[in-house]
Each structure stands twice: as C-alpha cells, then as structure tokens.
Structure 1
Amino acid sequence: MTALAPHPDRLFPADPAERALARRLHAAVADLPIVSPHGHVPASVLADDEPFPDPSALLITPDHYVTRMLHAVGVPLSDLGLARDGVPSEVPGRTVWRTLCEHWDLFLGTPVRFWFESEFSEVFGLTEQPSPANADDLYDQLSATLASPEFRPRALFDRFRIAVLATTDDPADDLEAHARLASDPTFTGRVVPTFRADRYMHPEEQDWPVRLRALAERADVDTSTYAGLLEALRARRAAFAAAGATATDTGVLDAGCEPLEPAEASRIHRAALDGSMTSGEAVAYRRNMLYRLAEMSADDGLVMQLHPGVHRNHHRPTFEAYGPDTGHDLPAVGAFTAPLAPILRDFGTNPTFRLVLFTVDESTFSREIAPLAGFYPSVYAGAPWWFLDTPAAILRYRQAITDSAGFTKTSGFIDDTRAFCSIPARHDMSRRVDSSYLASLVLTHQVSEEDAFRIARRLVDDVPRATFRLG
C-alpha cells in the first residue's frame, strides 16, 4: 500500500531560501485558533453533539466538492448517499466509501485531494492512501474512530482550535440550536448565525409564497405585502443580531441593485402572488431587494457578504431529483463596479455599512474588487471562494488584490464548508499559501521579515475579526 504522509513542505516555494522562510512563517501561525466567519456546518451538529453516523455520511455525501467530481466520471449521485426525490438513499456507507477509494486518483492535483490527505492523516490518523484493496479496512478504522468520545463534534471543535464558527441560516429559522449552545455552560466555543435571505428575493420561484408564509409566522408580521416583507426581514435581522450574528450573506446571479419606488415594488409583489408578474419584473424586484438589504445593513451594522455570479442549479433534472447544493452550480462572468453603483453611491462611505465582495470570476479581483476596496471604506475583498479556493488561485488572489487593497481590506480565509472535519485542512492550506506569498515579498525586498511575520498573524486572526466585526 502507498503510505499516506503529507509532505511537511507542501505548497511551499521551490526556491530554497523562500521555502525556508515560508516554513518559519507558517510555523508561527500553524497552531493559531481558527476564525471561520462563513461556513455551512449546522449549529445543531454541535448543539446535539451526537456521534457522526458513518465515514461516508460525514466525509463524502454532504460535500459537493467531492460528489460533483465523482458524478463527472459517471457515478450517479444516488450511489453517493444523496437522497433522491426526498427519499433517503439506501446505499450503505461502506459502498459509498468504496466508490471514493476506487476513484482516489481522480482527485490528484485538486484541493479536494489536499484536504483529504491532510484530514485523513492529521485528524483520523490514517497511514495508507485509499485504494480498492484497503477500502474496507480503512472504513472500519474510520468507523471505530468516529465512535470514540474524542471524535464527537464538540471534542473536535476544541481539538481544531476553532475560536469562532459562523453558520448560515434562513431568516425563518428559529435559531433554537444556537440558543442551546449559548445557554449550555459545558460549551465554551463561539458559534454565530449568519442571516441569508436569498429565498425571499426571487418571486418567480414556485415556492416563494410558501417561503413568505413561513417568514410571516416566524416574524409575526404579514408578508403578503412588500412593506410587510421588509418589516419581517428587519425583525429577523434584529433577532439574529441578538443571537450573536454579525453578518448577512447574499448569493445572486448578478450584483445589479437598482432601487424601485415603494409603490412599484409593492405592485410587483402583488403581481407575483397573483401570478401576473413578468420575468423582467422579477429581475427588477430581485435587484431592488439587494439594494434594500444593503440599506438594512447600513442601518443595523450587520456586515453584508455578497456572492454574485453563479448559475445556480444548472442541470434542472438533477435539481428536481436531488435539490440544491448538489454540485451543478457553475461560475458566471462577474461584474461589480457598474452594477453596485447605486449601493455604493448611497452607502459606500457610511461608517456603519460594510460590504465583503466574493467572486468565482477571478478576472474581477484586480479589475474591480481590489480598486473598489482601495477606495470605498465600506468595501472589503473577499477571499477566493468555491471554484477558486485552491492553492494556485489563493496565490493569484494575493498577487491581484494586494497592489490596490493591501492586506487589511480583505476578509481572511473563508472555508465555506459543510464538511466539518475538513475545516483545519482548509485553513492550513490558506496559511501555507499566504506564508509562501509573504516569503516572496521578503526575498524581493518588498516587505521586511518582521512585517511578514506580523502580517501572517493578522491574516489569521485580526483581519477576519475586524472585517466581520467579531470583536
């Protein structure tokens, strides 16, 4: 069997002098606590603190980074444990794990392989690369490990040195799991909700009226009117802030944000409910809602994260069978400078307003995001995200952003994951790449070694805390 032993100098530069300095920079930050201001691990995982069910349900099925690549070579999603048409999969976890082992080399050169190798070795103590020959033995080893008290979610939270973990939550969520964590004296970690209102911005979607009713019930506000919807969203934002939230998150196809007059927005709202709304009116409503969410952030101070430029649910048959977040969201061409003009005109210099911009179109980093962050006090350059959270893309991000925005007008690393056990591997990847970039600046005499060590520490802790107002 091939040994599983991640190289201690992985992702460091080939040049010996740069590599030596990168190694020392990384050593200075490798064990610092993790600040994770944007993620998708449910708070209930920590509130319930139940043992993870099996290796595949933890490591494979919920991670669309993994399932999409296996699907790309012909593995049906149902064979990977995903529920189809709302019916839970009957494929045994052991079978799902065997599928991963059979396709292990598929992930060579990808960040998924880097995360898995780090995770398997450093979290679970595996010493062999997965393969068809050892699949069952590794599955048994992982199953036994997950059954131990040291691998319950809260124990791992402490072991991973997570200082702050943000979740992503619907405005209609009751935040009950967050309340349980906050009131539990045995849990000393910090888990904060994040307000994500995308589902209420798209009146063309079939279940929009159902979503409005759920929000109305939670907020105790009539959302059958446009004014009522805005009131309900404000009420829930206040409830989220009271539960510890410091940020919102918004994912839209584009960053257009032209505000509508209230009477026109109200008319479209009514048309959506009676079925007479046009497609153009749906776009206008969505762009108006993006402006209104920014307006709310300018009022209440919740940091606004914006993730435009993704074609969601590109393959309709897969969406209808398996639902969203199943690997077929795809990048679109991005733009910020012109589309965001209304928001930045009205709130760009407001000291209460803060806007973190993310993209999957890396051409916008140097062309639009960095220049915007280099002028507007409110704008911050979000870390490479989703298709770009790779070692090469993170390095390109630093090279593209730093000239115009420096280091402090950035977000810190964003792991954006549902795969709880991969969090330390993802953050370590970012710390290694940043250490390499800083080493190159020192060796080319652009920053001093002292400054490089100071920046490395700030990128891990001070920057994400300050950007997301985490204290």
Structure 2
Amino acid sequence: MKRFMDDKDFLLSTPTGEKLFHEYAEGMPIVDYHCHISPQEIFENKRFETITEVWLGGDHYKWRLMRASGVDERYITGDAPAREKFQKWAETLSRCVGNPVYEWSHLELKRFFGYDGVLNAQTAQEVWDLANAKLAEDDFTCRELIRRSNVRLICTTDDPADSFEWHKKIAADPTFDVQVVPAMRPDAALRIERAGEYAAYLKRLGEAAGIEIKTFDDLKRAISIRYDVAHELGCRASDHALDYVMYEPATPEEIEAIFEKGLAGEQVSEHEMLQYKTAFMLFVAGEYERLGWAMQLHFGCIRDNNATMFAKLGPDTGYDSISNYAPADQLAAFLNAVNETSGLPKTILYSLNPYDTYMIDTVMQCFQQAPVAGKLQNGSAWWFNDHETGMRQQLTALANEGVLGTFVGMLTDSRSFLSYPRHEYFRRVLCGLIGEWVEAGKYPADFETLGSIVRDISYNNAVRYFGFDLPLEA
C-alpha cells in the first residue's frame, strides 16, 4: 500500500513516470495563462486573516461539496464565524473520498503550510492554528504565495472597459518580478440579450475607448482601441464564455438593426441574438489574428440553474452544470468562416462536457496550419473535469487524434492564490500516463525525447504559443 499523498509516488505508478516527473516536470516554472485572481490584490500584496478567508472565500468547488454534505448555507456563504465555517469544511472533506478537491486540499496544506497530516473533524483545530500562524508571518502574502509556487507569468481575466490600472501599477513595481498581464474577456459586449444591462455596458465601454458608440462599427472600433491598450500591457490571449460555439450568419444590415435594438435596451429574439453573437465573434477573431493573440473559447456550461439561490447570491456561487449541447457542425462552420475571412488565430477550445473531447480533437485537426505547432488546441480538462480521470481522458484523446507534444498544458482557472499545486497535480497525471505507455512498450524509453515533451507541456509550449517574453527551460 502506498503512503497517503506520498511526495515520490503520488499519482505515479511506474518507475518511468517517477523519473519523468522528478527529473523533468517537477521543477519547471508555471505560466498560468487563465485564472480569475485579482490584479488589485496582487498589487496591494493582500494578506489573509484566516485559512477560511484564503481557502473558502469564493471557492464554489468547496461550497458545492458542503451543500451536498448537508451543511447549512450559513456556514458556506453566510455569517457564521470563520472558525465554525472551517470546521464544517473539515467535516465535509473527510467524506470526499475520490474527489479531486480532497487531493488538492492536502497538496495545498503540504506545499504552503508544511502539514503532512490529514484534515478532518478531529484535526481541524490543529490545522487552523498552524495555517493561521503561517498566514500571520510577515512574508506570507499573496505575492509570496505566487513566488513560492515558481510562477513566472499570470494572465488575469479582464473586460475591455476596465482601466487596467492595477496591471500598469504592477508593471511599474520593481519589487515584484512576476509578470501579471491582462487577458481579454469581452463577454459583456456579447450579451445583447441582457437588454438594459447591455446598453449600459456600451456606454461604459465607449467612455473607456474615448468614443460614443452609436453603431456596430463604433462598437468594433471601441473594442479595437481597448485591445490595442491591453496589447501594450502584455495581453496575448482572450477568453470567451459561450453556451456553445454558434454560427448563424447575417448581413451587415441585419446586424446593424439588431444592434440598434440592443443599444435602445430592447429585447432581441433568440435568432437575432445568435446572429449578433456570430458577427461579434467573427470580428474579434479577426482582431486576435491581427494582434497575434490566442482565442480561448470556453463552452458547454449551463449557468445559474438554481434561480432561488441566484437571486440570493448571484453568479459564480456553485450553481452551474455541464451542458450536453455543443453542435459540431456550427463549431466547424464558425472556424471555417473565420479562416476564410480574417484567417484563424491561435485557438484553444474547451468544452465542459467530456463527451465533446473527441469531437473537438477531430474538428480542430481540420484547421491546423504552419508555422504554429498545435495552432488549434483542445484545452486542458476544465472545471468539473480537472481531476485525474478527466485529465487522463483529455490527454489520451489528444494523443490518439493529434500531437500530444504540442499541448500547452495546465492552467488554474481559479480565484485562489493557493491553487498552484494544481499544476503539480496535472504534471503528475501527465508523467504517470506517459510512464504507463512507455512501460507497456507503446513508446521507447527515450528520456531525452520524453523529457523534452514533458518540459514543453509543463511550461515551454505555453511560452512559445502565446509569445510571452519569458526564457525557455532546457
């Protein structure tokens, strides 16, 4: 029997896997090219009062598990004391055998707090005291957590109407050597179905761009202006949260009429919404090609399913689920249309539904093009899939249908400064899987080549793919 969370063997079942992880992957730096942490908190070097604040505040992974364990909402998002919330989490965690959050939580306790035990109801006080004592140390700030994790670059998630104030301040701060750059998420400009909210957003975007938005062409010009500002600050990627990748073409006249309704705060039909979103996505895809950015498309999610709790808590509070609708014909038609108009930018496709994996792999291979290796990517196993099973499935499908060695690897997609051990978790899964293939005789034990593949997936491929100003690691 292996020891729990053994530093040598965890998720590694073969000597080859162990060698690949410890000699090639383990020490590689991190490029976190998609996350939701706050650039303001990084600039201000935020401190955390308790383990509850840094661990449970905003973490809907944990909130979902607590609800499923019968914990009252008062101890999750309510006004219960921090110590009581932590106790409820410790009690919940002990029941979560097989859940990746169990493994992530203990990796975080080991890596940041030096705790090698097991968190449960009986040890909660011990962990509470240890973690809070560490958090009280002078150097235990969010910047130090980033440094300790060997992070070289972070892409935050930002709206084109944002001021980018905190990115500018971080870039001008000589005391912090980790790059923090924006990644554009123009979802608010896409949501024409939100009537008055959409119209109010256009006003804010116009103010940020220094123009008045009266037409769809004005909107496109505002987006271009703000994208150019973001590019100067190091932005090299966008991100879009879509229900699915749609393709419903329309004439310029039709789009202008739809836009006018949205600008006036009027409700558009579903067909008009799809036409508008298609036109918007075709435009921004051209912008990404112009700027050399990567376009990230996240889809396959049904958000805010529980209307009662959405009314109480708002979005991103643990009430989202997997969608089973991702039409391959529309995805292919959209990529083809972009390819024929502006040319396809580098594109990463993420579906929340694991059943879409092979569909994505086969569609994207129709549009691969030199000189970019892996110009289209099947993104890292995402959200409900970033566990060992999901990662193995995504990696295996990509290996079966494409070139695994061009994969850009892991991201945290997190709001927590303690999430960086997810990169270790991913690298262990990657090395474990490749190790099994080698020892089954499916690939030679050529460690020069294998080591290069593992290093590249862990770090180098992301640096090359996004064009970040970072050194490669040999």
Determine if the TM-score, normalized by the shorter chain, exceeds 0.5. Answer: yes
Comparing 33-42 with 294-303, greater Cα deviation is found at: 294-303
Deviations 1:191-218 (A, max 9, x none): 1110001111111215222222221221
Distance 1:374 1:266 in 2: 32
The amino acid of 1:212's aligned partner reads: L
Residue 369 (structure 1) shift: 2.5
Q: Percent identity?
A: 25
Deviations 1:255-309 (A, max 9, x none): 0133432221111111122425223322322232222221221222221000111
- Asked whether the equivalents of residues 225 and 269 of structure 1 are also in contact (C-alpha less than 8 Å), the reply is yes
- Asked whether the equivalents of residues 193 and 267 of structure 2 are also in contact (C-alpha less than 8 Å), the reply is no
Which of 16, 23, 28 does residue 18 from structure 2 map onto?
23
- Asked whether the equivalents of residues 334 and 360 of structure 1 are also in contact (C-alpha less than 8 Å), the reply is no
Which of 185, 188, 192 does residue 174 from structure 2 map onto?
185
Residue 375 (structure 1) shift: 4.4
1:379-418 residue pairs with structure 2 within 5 A? 379-418=376-415
Which of 104, 109, 122 does residue 98 from structure 2 map onto?
109
Distance 1:341 1:427 in 2: 31
SS at match of 2:94: helix
The aligned counterpart of 1:38 is 34
- Structure 1 11/200 Cα, relative in aligned 2: closer, same or farther at 3 Å? same
Deviations 1:375-409 (A, max 9, x none): 42242221111111111111111111112211244
Deviations 1:396-426 (A, max 9, x none): 1111111221124433112211121121x20
Comparing 326-335 with 271-280, greater Cα deviation is found at: 271-280
The aligned counterpart of 2:332 is 341
- Structure 1 374/68 Cα, relative in aligned 2: closer, same or farther at 3 Å? same
- Structure 1 460/7 Cα, relative in aligned 2: closer, same or farther at 3 Å? closer
Residue 53 (structure 1) shift: 2.9
Which of 164, 167, 170 does residue 159 from structure 2 map onto?
170
Distance 2:347 2:27 in 1: 29
- Asked whether the equivalents of residues 370 and 381 of structure 1 are also in contact (C-alpha less than 8 Å), the reply is no
The aligned counterpart of 2:11 is 11
Runs of at least 4 residues off by over 6 Å: 349-352
The amino acid of 1:99's aligned partner reads: K
Deviations 1:16-52 (A, max 9, x none): xxx1111111002111111111111111121001312
Q: What TM-score do you get using the length of structure 2 for normalisation? A: 0.91
The amino acid of 2:44's aligned partner reads: D
Structure 1 unmatched runs, 5+:
14-18, 83-88
Deviations 1:448-470 (A, max 9, x none): 32222221111111211222222
The aligned counterpart of 2:125 is 136
The aligned counterpart of 2:110 is 121
- Asked whether the equivalents of residues 285 and 344 of structure 2 are also in contact (C-alpha less than 8 Å), the reply is no
- Structure 1 370/414 Cα, relative in aligned 2: closer, same or farther at 3 Å? farther
1:267-416 residue pairs with structure 2 within 5 A? 267-272=257-262, 273-335=264-326, 337-348=328-339, 353-373=345-365, 375-377=367-369, 378-416=375-413
Distance 1:286 1:344 in 2: 14
SS at match of 1:256: coil
Distance 2:218 2:6 in 1: 55
- Asked whether the equivalents of residues 6 and 117 of structure 1 are also in contact (C-alpha less than 8 Å), the reply is no
Distance 2:390 2:396 in 1: 10
Structure 2 unmatched runs, 5+:
370-374, 470-474
Which of 35, 43, 49 does residue 45 from structure 2 map onto?
49
Residue 253 (structure 1) shift: 0.5
Deviations 1:221-276 (A, max 9, x none): 22343222211111111111111110000011010133432221111111122425
Distance 1:316 1:253 in 2: 18
- Structure 1 347/205 Cα, relative in aligned 2: closer, same or farther at 3 Å? closer
Distance 2:405 2:16 in 1: 22
SS at match of 1:186: coil
The amino acid of 1:344's aligned partner reads: L
- Structure 1 300/136 Cα, relative in aligned 2: closer, same or farther at 3 Å? same
Residue 78 (structure 1) shift: 4.2
SS at match of 1:255: coil
- Structure 1 457/269 Cα, relative in aligned 2: closer, same or farther at 3 Å? same
Which of 219, 222, 241 does residue 232 from structure 1 map onto?
222
The aligned counterpart of 2:88 is 99
Residue 115 (structure 1) shift: 0.5
Deviations 1:102-129 (A, max 9, x none): 2122322111111101111221122432
Distance 2:12 2:121 in 1: 31
The amino acid of 2:45's aligned partner reads: D
- Structure 1 225/135 Cα, relative in aligned 2: closer, same or farther at 3 Å? same
SS at match of 1:191: strand
Q: What TM-score do you get using the length of structure 1 for normalisation? A: 0.91
- Asked whether the equivalents of residues 246 and 334 of structure 2 are also in contact (C-alpha less than 8 Å), the reply is no
Comparing 350-359 with 231-240, greater Cα deviation is found at: 350-359
SS at match of 1:53: coil
The amino acid of 1:176's aligned partner reads: E
Number of residue pairs matched by the alignment = 456
